[in-house]
Structure 1
Amino acid sequence: MNRTEALDIVKASIAHVIPDADVTTLGPHDTFRDALDMDSLEFLHYVETLSERTGIRIDDEDTPQLTTLSGSADFLVAHARSDTQ
C-alpha cells in the first residue's frame, strides 16, 4: 500500500463514520476530534473501519497515531509493509 492509497482509505473511512464530514478541508496534521468534532465513539468506529478495510490489526496502543490524516496514512503504510514481509 502506498501513501496515496492509505490516504484514500483513511478519507473513505472517515466519510463512512461521519457522512457529512468534509474531508477535503482536513490538513495533514489536523486532529479529527477538533476539525470534525469526532467524538470518542465515532473515533472507535473509525479505527474499526480502518482495520476492516485494510486487514491490519490495530491495537489500543496504536490509536494515538491515528488521530490525523498524516498519522493514519503513515501507520497504514508501515503496517501494510510489515504484514507482507
Structure 2
Amino acid sequence: MKHAEALDIVKESISHVIPDADFTALGPDDPFRDALEMDSMDLLSFVETLSERTGIRIDDEDTPQLTTLSASTDFLVARSR
C-alpha cells in the first residue's frame, strides 16, 4: 500500500465515524482525537473501520500508534508490506 492510498483510507475511516470531520484544520501530526473531539467509542469505531477496510489486524496495543494522520498512515503502510 502506498502512502497516499493509506492516507485516504485513514481519512475515510475517520469520516465514517465523524461525518463532519474537517481535515483542513488538521495537521498531519495533530492528535485527531483532540482536534475532532473523538471520544473512546469513536476511537474504537475508527480502529474497527480501519481494520475492516484494509484487512489489517489491529490489536489493542497498536491503538496508541493510531493518533495522528501521519502515524496512522505510517502504521498502515508498514503493516501492508
Q: TM-score range by the shorter chain?
A: over 0.9
The gaps in structure 1 that reach 5 residues or longer are none
Name the % identity: 77
Question: Is residue 16 of structure 1 aligned with residue 24 of structure 2?
Answer: no
Note the 1:26-65 alignment, pairs <5 A. Answer: 26-65=26-65
The Cα offsets for residues 53-79 of structure 1, whole Å up to 9 and x where unpaired, read as 000000000000001000000000000
Specify every segment of 5 or more residues in structure 2 that has no aligned partner in the other structure, as ranges.
none
Q: TM-score scaled to structure 1, two decimals?
A: 0.92
So what's the TM-score if we normalise by structure 2? 0.97
Q: Size of the alignment, in residue pairs?
A: 81
In 2, the alpha carbon distance for the partners of 1:79 and 1:54 equals 10
The answer as to whether partners of 1:14 and 1:23 remain within 8 angstroms in 2 is: no
RMSD in angstroms over aligned alpha carbons?
Answer: 0.6
